[in-house]
Structure 1
Amino acid sequence: MPTGVAMRDARKQLFDAAERVLLRDGPSALSSRAVTTEAGCAKGVLHRHFADFDAFLAELVLDRITRIDDQAASLRNAAGTGTVADNLTGALTDLFESVAVAIVGLVTSRDELRARLRQARPTGVPLLTEATAMIASYLAAERELGRVAADAAVDTLAPTLIGAGHLLFADRRSTPPEAGSVHEVVTTVIAGVLREPLPRAAT
C-alpha cells in the first residue's frame, strides 16, 4: 500500500482485512501481522494510524457498531410492513451472518480490548448491546402500531431474540442455519404478543 494513501482508505482496508481474518480463522488468529498481510501492506501502516493493536481493534469494533445503527434505522422504518416475524428473521440473519459473532468472540477473548471499549461503551457486551436495542426499538414501533400487544415486554423479548439468534449462528465452522430455523425461533419467542393475523397452516 503506498504510504501516501488517505487515512480513511487505509482504515477501511485494514478493517476489511481484519474482518476477513476473523471470519476465516477466528479471533485467536487475529494479529497485526495477520491483518497487514491480509491487507497487502507493510506492518508499519497499521501503527501509523493507530497507537497499538488494541487501539486498532477497539476502532474496528466501534466501526462495526455503526453498521448496526444503520440497520436499526432501516428495521424501525419497516414497522407496519411485511410481517413482524419476517422482519425480525431478516434482521437477525443480517446481523449474525455478518462478522457480529466473530466480533463478540474477539471482545470476550481480549481483556485489554474490553477495557478500552468500556471507555466508549460502559455497559453490556459491545455490538450485542446495540443489537438488542435495535430489536427493542423495532418491537416498540410495532407495539405502537398495534401489531404487537400493548403490554408486550419488548425489553425482555429483545435480548431473548438476540440470545437465541446468537446461539443459532455461534458455530462459525458449520453451515449457517436456514431461514426457516431462524423464523421458527422468532415466531416461538413472539407468539404470545403478536397481534397481526397468523399465517394459515398448510393443509
Structure 2
Amino acid sequence: MNRQLASTHSMTIGHYITRSAALAATALLLAPGIASAQGEVDFFGAALCEPPYSSDIATRTYNAAEKLAKPDMSMMGAAVYHLPKPIERYGFITQDVVFAGTSVGVLVEGHAAAQLAAKYNLQRETSDLLGASTLGFSRRLPDKLQIKKDLGLISLIAREGPGLGEKTLLACELDSYEDLERLEALKRYLSSRKAAPDKNEDGPNP
C-alpha cells in the first residue's frame, strides 16, 4: 500500500512539474515583451511606407521596438533594434529595425539594393551622399500619399554603404524642404566639379 502511495505521490509531483513548466512556457510566449510586441507593428511595412511615414507611425513602431530590444547606437545618427526573430518579406530578410531622424527602416540581409529597387520600382540615385552610400535607389511617394506636405516629402529608399556592412538599408523617410534644397545644392556642386576640366589632367605646366 505504501509503495502504491509513493508511486501515486511521485506521479503527482511529476505531473505538477510538467504542468508548471508548460504554464511557465506559455506565460513566456504570451508576455507582451517577447512575442506579441513583435506582432504589434509591421516593421517591414513601416519601412516600405505602408502606411506612409508619420509621427504616429514612428512612435508606435519605436515603442514596439523598445519592448523587444535595447538600441545599438554604434551606427552614427541611428538607433538599431535587433529583433528576437527575423522577418521575411518576398525573400528579403531582416532582423534589425532602424530609426534615424525622420525615418523608419530595416536592415535587409545582404547587398540587396538593386533587388529591392526592382521589386519596389525605385530609381537609381545620382548622389552618393558624400560617400555614405555606395549604391542607392529611391522613389518619391505619389502626391496622394504625401500626408506631411507641410513639413516635407516622403520617399522610399534602399541604400548600401560602408557603414552598413553586409546589409542594406530599406527605409521610409520624410525629407524636409530644407534638406531637399541642400541635397539639390550638393548635386549641382558635384555636377559642376565633374564638368570643370582637371587642371592637373595634362600634367604640370612647363
- TM class, shorter-chain normalised? under 0.3
TM-score by length of 2: 0.27
Rg (Cα) greater in structure: 2
More strand by share: 2
More helix by share: 1
TM-score by length of 1: 0.27
If asked which structure has higher relative contact order (CA below 8 Å, sep 6+), I would say: 1
